[in-house]
Amino acid sequence: MTEIEAYAESFVEKAKKTLYICGEHLISYPIVKSYHKKYPGLKVVYFDAHADMRDHYDGNRLSHSAAARRISEVVGPENIYMFGIRSFEKQEMKFIRDNKILCDPLMEEFENVMDTIKNCPVYISIDVDVIDPGFLPGVGNPEAGGMSYRDFLRAVEGFSCLKNIVAADINELSPKYDPMGASSVFVAKMIREMLLVMAGN
């Protein structure tokens, strides 16, 4: 974690807008830490099929199941906005409700959130399992009922109103679960769209 944080800081110091391509979603945590040092009012827009709000998983606090929880401890629960979530544990739902975290499975508040945070520094984190497995099966923990590619494009269009996307990440692609390779093609397009919106930001 320390090495990843230091690596990300090298990009923060150069003020380079960076799209990180990651493995586990937990990697977002040290990256967000590095950006929060420079941008204390950082907002995190978090896309995932899972809440990732466990305090620990089998005693391990540095688990992908706890990624959003660790991030909320860095930026504050009021500064994380969660979209596409459709799998929770009871303890996660309690934490989200107790801390009044915006959690919007159906993207109903997305445009309002983008308008609210448009003048703030923003970090966007995307677990590709937010996409429905019918379109993108190459993930470790698929959950039915997710976004389509068109839904994702509408989200990217919403990002265009943000005036300061400081960085973003895309993570959790597992090509071995999709021998046809469609998932890799899908994620390549996601990467392209994110690069385009960040370049124009």
The tens digit of pLDDT for each residue in 24-58 reads 999 999 999 999 999 999 999 999 999 999 998 78
pLDDT digits (tens, 9 = 90+) for 168-194: 999 999 999 999 999 999 999 999 999
Name the region of 41 (left: φ>0; alpha: ψ -120 to 50; beta: rest): alpha
- At the top level of CATH, the class of 2-199 is alpha beta
**∠ CA(34), CA(52), CA(69), 5° rounding?**
50
C-alpha distance from residue 139 to each of 63, 76, 131 (Å): 16, 29, 10
Reply yes or no on whether the pLDDT at 18 is more than 90.
Answer: yes
Q: How high does pLDDT run on average in the chain?
A: 96
| Other beta carbons within 10 Å of 40 | 11
Reply yes or no on whether the pLDDT at 157 is more than 80.
Answer: yes
pLDDT at 16: 86
Q: CA-CA distance, 95 to 19, in Å (whole number)?
A: 29
33: part of which helix (H) or strand (E)?
A: helix 28-38
Q: Are 105 and 86 in contact (CB under 8 A)?
A: yes
Q: CA-CA distance, 161 to 92, in Å (whole number)?
A: 30
pTM for this prediction: 0.96
Reply yes or no on whether the pLDDT at 101 is more than 90.
Answer: yes
